[in-house]
């Protein structure tokens, strides 16, 4: 590492004021601070707290927490590939197929996203921080495995420019950047991101009866046909996929879906990492799961359609609710900042997710829109919480 440090110090004068690469200084600084701790401190007035956790370490912690979802997603893409073809395959074959399909999506996300940030930083002459290290991993994990790479690139550019840089960069954005990329593709190319893109088939063809549909899609079709949702999930499949949508498969993630969203178990492992390290808010995560479960119970009591009658616990393991609760809703920039507000914010996300699923079969997911909507209302939640705290303190002071 000393050799690398020496080389960076050697070329640094070329990027400083008056150097021949002066306009690229912030690109140099971004690589320097990523590889080594910065040698400068804040000059702002006021109280400063020394802490071992800086933005770089925080972002790396989130990336580590996403590794279980990434590794399982790679395996599951390969597993679903051979399942759809009706073929037996060894573990390494599944991992190889999954890696070949998933890793290019990750590479495109990082290369295009970082390239866009570098270009904007050079034009606007502002520092680059480590925020996109997390976003660059989140974007591939919320994509279907068969997504065209050009769409990943287009969505990444849109998200970085519109959802992030237009607001001033990391820490200033109102909407979650990765979810903005997902929403852009959903509304710009709905037929290509909501069709049969959840299973990578390659050059092969699926066995008879296999559609690659997600459990939420099957549930929506069941509601349209007046059928029981759980019964429809249980009856899907044949010898090639007995009990494909059993509750255990839904929990462990052996189902078609976005690359990193299918496994509730992997998301919970990531949640444990975030909570133990203090990076993620356990209040928001618990609030999302609790709000979804309580709304599911309420829908069971109302029971107007079959989706309402689906057991409440199924809402916790289908779709991207677990992934959204752990990695998206807890975004420290777009989430509520007050402690009481975090409960309200998380509970409302969970409740809205179930409401969207139940009342809009054409869009049976819901977690994406629920989080984006609550991103907009998070400052308002904090405003009312702060005002309520002020009123209580004033009342105590006058007693």
Cβ atoms 332, 378 nearer than 8 A: no
Query: Phi/psi class of residue 45: alpha, beta or left (left: φ > 0; alpha: ψ in -120 to 50)?
Result: beta
Confidence of residue 13 (pLDDT cuts 50, 70, 90): low
Task: Between 384 and 216, name the one with better pLDDT.
Answer: 384
CA distance 231 to 218: 10
pLDDT surpasses 60 at 349: yes
Q: Which residue has the tokens 């429809």?
A: 232
Q: Counting Cβ atoms within 10 Å, is residue 250 exposed (0-12), middle (13-18) or buried (19+)?
A: buried
Q: Which two tokens stand for residue 300?
A: 């069971």
pTM: 0.87
Cβ atoms 212, 199 nearer than 8 A: yes
Confidence of residue 338 (pLDDT cuts 50, 70, 90): very high
Q: Say what the pLDDT of residue 364 is.
A: 63
Mean pLDDT of 123-133: 72
Mean pLDDT of 173-202: 85
Q: Which residue has the tokens 């019964």?
A: 231
Mean pLDDT of 296-307: 87
Q: Say what the pLDDT of residue 5 is.
A: 66
CA distance 73 to 173: 28
CA distance 135 to 353: 22
Phi then psi dihedrals of residue 342, to 5 deg: -65, -40
CA distance 262 to 297: 23
Q: Say what the pLDDT of residue 3 is.
A: 64
CA distance 362 to 369: 14
The answer to which of 71-85, 135-149, 206-220, 277-291 has the lowest mean pLDDT is 206-220
Q: Say what the pLDDT of residue 10 is.
A: 62
Contacts of 33 by beta carbon, 8 Å cutoff, 6+ apart: 56, 130
Cα 379–155–68 angle (5° rounding)? 80
pLDDT tens digit sequence for 46-71: 444 555 556 667 888 999 999 999 99
Mean pLDDT of 333-352: 95
Q: Say what the pLDDT of residue 380 is.
A: 95
Q: Say what the pLDDT of residue 208 is.
A: 78
Cβ atoms 284, 292 nearer than 8 A: no
pLDDT surpasses 60 at 192: yes
pLDDT surpasses 80 at 207: yes
Q: Say what the pLDDT of residue 298 is.
A: 95
Residue 16's H or E segment, with its range, is none
Cβ atoms 306, 228 nearer than 8 A: yes
| Residue 155 CB neighbour total at 10 angstroms | 28
pLDDT tens digit sequence for 58-105: 888 999 999 999 999 999 999 999 998 988 899 999 999 999 999 999
Q: Say what the pLDDT of residue 21 is.
A: 64
Q: So where are the chain's domains?
A: 2-36+56-193, 264-392
> Percent of the chain scored above 90 by pLDDT?
49
Phi then psi dihedrals of residue 184, to 5 deg: -60, -45
Task: Between 229 and 135, name the one with better pLDDT.
Answer: 135
| Residue 265 CB neighbour total at 10 angstroms | 16
Q: Provide the Cα torsion 326, 329, 333, 335; round to 10°.
A: -130
CA distance 88 to 212: 18
pLDDT surpasses 60 at 387: yes
Q: Which two tokens stand for residue 77?
A: 């893409």
CA distance 95 to 97: 6
> Percent of the chain scored above 70 by pLDDT?
81
Task: Give the chain's mean pLDDT.
Answer: 85
Q: Say what the pLDDT of residue 47 is.
A: 45
Contacts of 395 by beta carbon, 8 Å cutoff, 6+ apart: none
Residue 41's H or E segment, with its range, is none
If we measure between CA atoms, which residue out of 104, 178, 219 comes closest to residue 371? 178
Q: Which two tokens stand for residue 103?
A: 């890793």
């Amino acid at each position: 590492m000393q050799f690398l440090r020496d080389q960076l110090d050697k070329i640094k004068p070329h990027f400083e004021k008056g150097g021949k690469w002066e306009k690229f200084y912030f690109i140099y600084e971004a690589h320097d601070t990523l590889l080594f701790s910065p040698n400068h401190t804040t000059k702002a007035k006021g109280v400063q707290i020394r802490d071992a956790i800086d933005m770089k370490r925080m972002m790396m912690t989130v990336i580590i927490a996403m590794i279980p979802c990434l590794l399982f997603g790679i395996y599951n893409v390969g597993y679903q590939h051979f399942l759809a073809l009706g073929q037996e395959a060894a573990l390494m074959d599944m991992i190889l197929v999954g890696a070949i399909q998933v890793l290019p999506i990750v590479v495109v996300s990082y290369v295009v996203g970082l390239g866009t940030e570098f270009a904007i930083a050079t034009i606007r002459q502002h520092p680059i921080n480590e925020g996109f290290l997390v976003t660059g991993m989140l974007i591939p994990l919320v994509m279907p495995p068969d997504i065209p790479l050009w769409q990943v690139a287009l969505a990444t550019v849109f998200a970085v420019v519109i959802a992030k840089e237009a607001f001033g960069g990391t820490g200033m954005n109102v909407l979650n950047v990765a979810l903005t990329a997902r929403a852009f593709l959903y509304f710009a190319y709905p037929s290509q991101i909501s069709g049969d893109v959840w299973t990578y088939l390659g050059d092969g063809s699926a066995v008879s009866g296999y559609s690659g549909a997600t459990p939420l899609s099957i549930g929506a079709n069941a509601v349209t046909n007046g059928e029981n949702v759980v019964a429809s999930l249980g009856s899907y499949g044949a010898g090639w996929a007995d009990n494909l949508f059993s509750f255990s498969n839904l929990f462990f993630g052996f189902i078609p879906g976005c690359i990193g969203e299918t496994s509730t178990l992997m998301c919970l492992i990531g949640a444990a990492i975030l909570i133990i390290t203090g990076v993620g808010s356990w209040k928001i995560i618990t609030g999302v799961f609790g709000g979804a479960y309580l709304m599911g119970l309420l829908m069971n009591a109302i029971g107007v359609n079959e989706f309402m009658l689906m057991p409440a616990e199924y809402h916790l393991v289908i779709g991207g609710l677990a992934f959204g609760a752990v990695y998206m809703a807890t975004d420290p920039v777009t989430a509520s900042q007050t402690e009481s507000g975090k409960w309200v914010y998380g509970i409302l996300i969970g409740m809205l997710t179930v409401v969207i699923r139940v009342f809009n079969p054409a869009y049976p997911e819901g977690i994406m829109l629920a989080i984006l909507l609550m991103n907009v209302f998070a400052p308002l939640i904090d405003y009312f919480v702060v005002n309520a705290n002020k009123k209580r303190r004033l009342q105590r002071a006058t007693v």
